[in-house]
Amino acid sequence: MVTPNELSELIAAYPEWLLVRESGKSFALISDEIELSVENEDRTLVSFVDDSGFHSWRLNGSKFHEGAIELDVAGPFARKRETIRLVPRESASVLAAAVELARLEKANEAARFIESSIASTKIIRVDLNAENGRLGQIIFERDKKRTAALTDVTSSLTAESILTASMMWLEKLAARSKNPISDVLIIAETRQAKSLQKLLALLNNRWRSKITIAEIARRKDPPVLVELAARKISQLWREKTKKLALPRDPQPSGLATHLVNLAPGQVDIVYSKQGETLRYLGLPFARVRTLLGKEKAWLGVNRSRRALTQENLNEVCELVSDLGKYRSPTSENPRHEYYRTSPEAWLESILRRDIRKLDANLILSPIYNQFRTSNDKIDLLALRRDGRLVVIELKTQPDREMIFQAADYWRKIELQRRRGILQEADLFEGREILDRPVLVYLVAPALSFHRDYEFFARSLAPEIELWRFELHENWRAEIKVLARREFRDQLTGLTNL
């Protein structure tokens, strides 16, 4: 057993660590990014950040074993408990070689699944993709016909990322003069495969005929590949969907009200089951929770968070003052983290206050944040004055996955619309939702649409109506729509309206 003081000394002894979760996922940290705070003799908190965000968990015990620190930690109210390992990092070259070797082994495992699951196959090549080494690329032959196969060797990529990579790779393979390939098999674990199956249904007939999804059925002994049936878009509407449990007229707590009043024009509140998050132009800087009937707040941007107490109340005003100085269109330092962090949330906060700056015919759902499909992108839900529902995807940097992220969001909202769930929830203060498919607005600065935007837009099923809104590059100072275009014809491309 290692005491908190001994643990602090151990962590400080090495400049860099590799944090390994029970799931096997790892994240590189420097020693200063691992925080220990002793609240009393019986309660010590360990805080760290990984791919899924910031964590502050209770430390139940720790030990130094086989060159690594093992931490027994638990989340709030001990709902989630796991053992985390902190391993001193090797040199970058040694670690990179180990990572590449592990990824190649996963790619070769997928190749073995192909050989054991698909009769009369011959593996031609197994490699990692050149861009980032996160995808295993396999070429195999059956009946003298070559097929490409692709698999996520990190177990962390989104369905949208895997699909865009497979399509781009297939385009290159099909354009080869020697041994061109026109089909790709995507190999994925169960959850990933199901998401890919739904996403594939949103593509047009041409692409659905080229791509096959295969699930790794690990429950079988030995594991095998099971090809998932290709779905049509009409089959997606048979899925079950939960009824919405939306808060009615949420009221800000006393602490949240006080924080909003420090800068009422810039600070807003996002409500969730866990409490309230205060944002300055979209950047979270405080969180308020009610625990055992008492309001408690934590201050900080990104990884730096501290409890708000009577002794540090002055820090609130200082933090809001700094945000006002640096998170501003006229910031004296555009390189400051407050200016550069979460630009899409900044754009969203502007449109949240007045969606008519984007389109004068839109009415924004006041509880739009209930419809976010993930934590890493911004989605808005609005209603046009003619009754058409609109989902809005925001980007401030080129992102080739934008099209499929928006399409997946469209699928989820369209399913709820068809079931009458959105009308029943009365999201727009009594206004009727028209019985027509949801529209998709893709919004970004004019130069921030990815160069492959049109390629992926053409790949979608014609049922998905896309609109492209190009903003002036200085959107922080003023929202100005330079162009509004509808992708109406998959042959002619974009058409100005």
User: Whole-angstrom Cα distance, residue 325 to residue 338?
Assistant: 9
CATH 2.70.180 domain extents, the chain: 4-89
Task: Label residue 69 exposed, middle or buried (CB < 10 Å: 0-12, 13-18, 19+).
Answer: buried
User: Whole-angstrom Cα distance, residue 193 to residue 195?
Assistant: 5
What pLDDT is stored for residue 79 in this prediction?
61
Four-point Cα dihedral 301, 303, 304, 306, nearest 10: 100
Q: Which of 160-174, 175-189, 257-271, 301-315 has the lowest mean pLDDT?
A: 301-315
94-231 under CATH 3.40.50, yes or no: no
Given strand 53-65, what is the order of strands in its sheet? Answer: 26-30, 16-20, 81-88, 68-74, 53-65, 43-50, 35-40
Q: Is residue 253's pLDDT more than 50?
A: yes
User: Whole-angstrom Cα distance, residue 202 to residue 184?
Assistant: 17
- Higher pLDDT residue, 88 or 76? 88
Q: Is residue 496's pLDDT more than 50?
A: no
Nearest to 82 by CA among 102, 64, 55, 51: 55
Q: Is residue 344's pLDDT more than 80?
A: yes
CATH 3.40.1350 domain extents, the chain: 94-231, 343-496
Beta bridge mates, 85: 20, 70
Length of the chain: 497
Residue 429 sits at φ, ψ, to 5 deg, of: 55, 50
Q: Is residue 101's pLDDT more than 50?
A: yes
- Higher pLDDT residue, 185 or 312? 185
Contact 45, 55 (CB under 8 A): no
User: Whole-angstrom Cα distance, residue 437 to residue 405?
Assistant: 17
- Higher pLDDT residue, 321 or 311? 321
pLDDT digit string, tens, across residues 360-393: 999 988 655 444 434 445 579 999 999 999 999 9
Q: Is residue 9's pLDDT more than 90?
A: no
Mean pLDDT, rounded, for 429-457: 95
% pLDDT > 90, the chain? 59
Q: Which amino acid is at 349?
A: S
User: Whole-angstrom Cα distance, residue 10 to residue 7?
Assistant: 5
What pLDDT is stored for residue 95 in this prediction?
52
Q: Across all residues in the chain, what is the average pLDDT?
A: 87
Other beta carbons within 10 angstroms of residue 11's beta carbon come to: 20
Q: Is residue 53's pLDDT more than 80?
A: no
- pLDDT band of residue 255 (cuts 50, 70, 90) is very high
User: Whole-angstrom Cα distance, residue 406 to residue 377?
Assistant: 10
Q: Which of 142-151, 189-198, 460-469, 483-492 has the lowest mean pLDDT?
A: 483-492
Two tokens, residue 148: 């490409």
Q: Is residue 451's pLDDT more than 50?
A: yes
What pLDDT is stored for residue 497 in this prediction?
34
Class of domain 4-89: mainly beta
- pLDDT band of residue 304 (cuts 50, 70, 90) is low
- pLDDT band of residue 490 (cuts 50, 70, 90) is very low
- Please state which architecture CATH assigns to domain 343-496: 3-Layer(aba) Sandwich (3.40)
Q: Is residue 154's pLDDT more than 80?
A: yes
What pLDDT is stored for residue 311 in this prediction?
83
pLDDT digit string, tens, across residues 412-426: 999 999 999 888 888
Nearest to 363 by CA among 433, 416, 424, 418: 433
What pLDDT is stored for residue 495 in this prediction?
38
Residue showing tokens 């369905």: 159
